[in-house]
Structure 1
Amino acid sequence: MNRRTLHIAHLFPDLLNLYADRGNILTLTQRLRWRGFSVEVHEVTHRDVPRLSAYDLILLGGGSDREQGIVAEYLKGYKAELKAAIEDGLPVLAICGGYQLLGAYYQLPNGEKLPGLDILNMYTSAGVGLPRLIGNVAIETPDAGIVMGFENHGGRTVHEHEPLGKVLHGHGNDGASGFEGVRYHNVWGTYIHGPLLPKNPRLADVVLTTALQYAGVKEPLEPLDDELENQARQAFLKLRMPEVETSVPSL
């Protein structure tokens, strides 16, 4: 197997790290190193110039409305380049605020629209008087089985793309459609955090497999022993979401 270094860009960790997104970076890097890969994490702040052609995977985390506005304003100069890279297959994991940023806008309760990157055919609005969507969440995904975690968002997201998964417990994109997140090319967008990947090693490996393929590594990932992680997942589901099927197939 080609053991080249995988390059992961953590965009704006100084602004978008509201929901323990560093835990996602740690999970990705450790699961690579356990398999003998080298990995380099590029922490790109709003004072840096992103080098999109140098990255094999991008992580966009969550932040407040203010931080999202700062990031959107900064990234608009790179919007065309980022959109072209995504269309060309660049893997992107976008969580909560980072997910919302991929759409056209986020409309505040007062009617003000914070512009997004307008990469996906998607928008988010926070309606006047509507409650926040908070609590444990579990969804069924086509390629990673049951994905679980925590959600806490006031926005309702609408898009015309494939969802990440079907809601089994919790609210999802809007609390009404029964779907959560988005799956577009090699983009995963989701409101699930807590953080996401330590709770869902199978999804972590789906993301890593896609990033390695984008980097030119075609061989499948060697399996890891995730028995302890799966037992913890099953125990949590049984305690907090007993209506959700607790069988967690191995990758």
Structure 2
Amino acid sequence: MTETVRIVQLYPVELGITGDRGNVRALQVRLERARVPVDVVRVGIGEALPADADIIVLGNGPLSAMRIVADDLRARAAELERFVEAGRSLFAIGASAELLSEGVDLLDGEILDGLGLFPFRVARTRDRNVGYIIAETPFGRVIGFEDHASRWTLGPQAEAAGTVVAGKGSFSLDGAAGEIVRRGESYASNVQGPALPLNPQWSDAILTAVTARRGIAWSAGDAHTHLNEYADGARAAIEHLVHSKDFSTIGL
């Protein structure tokens, strides 16, 4: 019998406001379509992480939510460091990505200490980046939505995974805009949407790493065709809007 892959959504209530459960669902369904057993566990404040977790997904939330989970997350710092260092997969979007950085400099001068799992620092800004984003990455063209008021400064050891071709991105990269910081098989990003249903190739990069580490036979195939077609349609619509002469930004 094929071993079960365990996906954890950490802080689903506090950090799950931008469709972040969709990232969990995308990974889950792609495994299920390949007949790989999946167990999804939702872990809240004060609850233990499963020792055999394969993927941890963290989502987005306001500054108030970051403050609510910050102490609990810091208490898990050593455990999460071991998780990432072991080559397991962590996927963090928005506020959670900032909490996993080296720290967040807020507009009022307060510093929100990070865990340092990813080698970048965050500065909150008064200018908000809102709109569609497209980035070229080693795992294909990533398409999604960005909505953040922050800039990241990468440390010398940081691995930038994406070069932005449309949108603002999270950081500067060799004179261009960059998006997605990668450490091993873990990712920090501001791409929402949620990102993984829109980008099956990114999901598959994560799942390929997870199943290879576990010795589980898995690959995308005919069972994933319709999922990919839905994603392709949404991606094409976004690209059309981005490149349309009549489209400049998204009004709020």
TM-score by length of structure 2 reads: 0.88
Aligned residue among 140, 144, 153 for 2:148: 153
Pairwise mapping of residues 198-209 of structure 1 onto structure 2 (< 5 A)?
198-209=197-208
Contact 2:180/2:188, CA 8 A, preserved across alignment: yes
Match of 2:213 in 1: 214
1:124–1:15: structure 2 CA closer, same or farther, 3 Å change rule?
same
2:158 matched to 1:166? no
1:222 and 1:136 mapped to 2: Cα distance?
Answer: 27
Please, which runs of 5 or more residues in structure 1 have no aligned partner?
244-251
Alpha-carbon shift at residue 242 of structure 1 (Å) = 5.0
Match of 2:6 in 1: 7
Please, which runs of 5 or more residues in structure 2 have no aligned partner?
246-252
Match of 1:110 in 2: 108
Q: Deviations over 1:80-132 (max 9, x none)?
A: 121122111111011111111111111110110111111222110113xx311
* More moved, 232-241 vs 36-45: 232-241
Alpha-carbon shift at residue 228 of structure 1 (Å) = 3.8
2:243 and 2:25 mapped to 1: Cα distance?
Answer: 27
Identity of aligned residues (%): 31
Alpha-carbon shift at residue 6 of structure 1 (Å) = 0.6
Residue identity opposite 1:155 in structure 2: S
1:171–1:39: structure 2 CA closer, same or farther, 3 Å change rule?
same
Pairwise mapping of residues 1-150 of structure 1 onto structure 2 (< 5 A)?
3-51=2-50, 53-127=51-125, 130-143=126-139, 145-150=140-145
1:77 and 1:102 mapped to 2: Cα distance?
Answer: 12
Residue identity opposite 1:170 in structure 2: G
Alpha-carbon shift at residue 196 of structure 1 (Å) = 0.7
Contact 2:118/2:181, CA 8 A, preserved across alignment: no
1:242–1:220: structure 2 CA closer, same or farther, 3 Å change rule?
farther
Contact 2:132/2:238, CA 8 A, preserved across alignment: no
Secondary structure, counterpart of 1:54 in structure 2: coil
Alpha-carbon shift at residue 222 of structure 1 (Å) = 3.4
> Would you tell me which structure has more strand in proportion to its own residues?
2
1:228–1:19: structure 2 CA closer, same or farther, 3 Å change rule?
closer
* Aligned residue pairs, count: 237
1:237 and 1:133 mapped to 2: Cα distance?
Answer: 18
Match of 1:235 in 2: 237
Q: Deviations over 1:25-56 (max 9, x none)?
A: 111111111111111111000031223x3100
Alpha-carbon shift at residue 220 of structure 1 (Å) = 4.6
1:177–1:100: structure 2 CA closer, same or farther, 3 Å change rule?
farther
2:160 and 2:130 mapped to 1: Cα distance?
Answer: 19
1:186 and 1:242 mapped to 2: Cα distance?
Answer: 35
Residue identity opposite 1:174 in structure 2: F
Residue identity opposite 2:235 in structure 1: R
2:195 matched to 1:193? no
CA RMSD of aligned residues (A): 1.8
Alpha-carbon shift at residue 212 of structure 1 (Å) = 1.5
1:36 and 1:210 mapped to 2: Cα distance?
Answer: 17
Alpha-carbon shift at residue 3 of structure 1 (Å) = 2.3
Runs of 4 or more, structure 1, over 4 Å off, are: none
